[in-house]
Amino acid sequence: MTYEKFKKEIKKLGLKCTYGKYSVQVYLTEDEVQAIVDKDKRFVATIYLTSSLISDDVKDKLSDLCFKLARTPINERGKWSDV
């Protein structure tokens, strides 16, 4: 899973994602981080799915996308662009 594909899929779910210093973060609002994919530990994805604002279907898809990205070796993820 490349970063570009990940971002496109996240956008389809109506969520946003940013590339922080140590992680990729997916969120609904600035205060409510929904998922974090650690950039250094490529097999780790931390999912925070407490929000009642998103459906279970979206939560399942988000979990799936995050774990796919987390399992992809860093050197195969491509470059992150903010465009």
List, for residues 6-31, the tens digit of each pLDDT value.
Answer: 889 988 888 878 777 667 777 665 55
Residues 6+ apart with CB under 8 A from 22: 38, 39, 40
Output the pLDDT for position 5. 93
Q: Are 3 and 24 in contact (CB under 8 A)?
A: yes
Helix (H, G, I), strand (E, B) or coil at 70: helix
Which residues, 6 or more positions from 7, have their beta carbon under 8 angstroms from its beta carbon? 17
What is this structure's pTM?
0.70
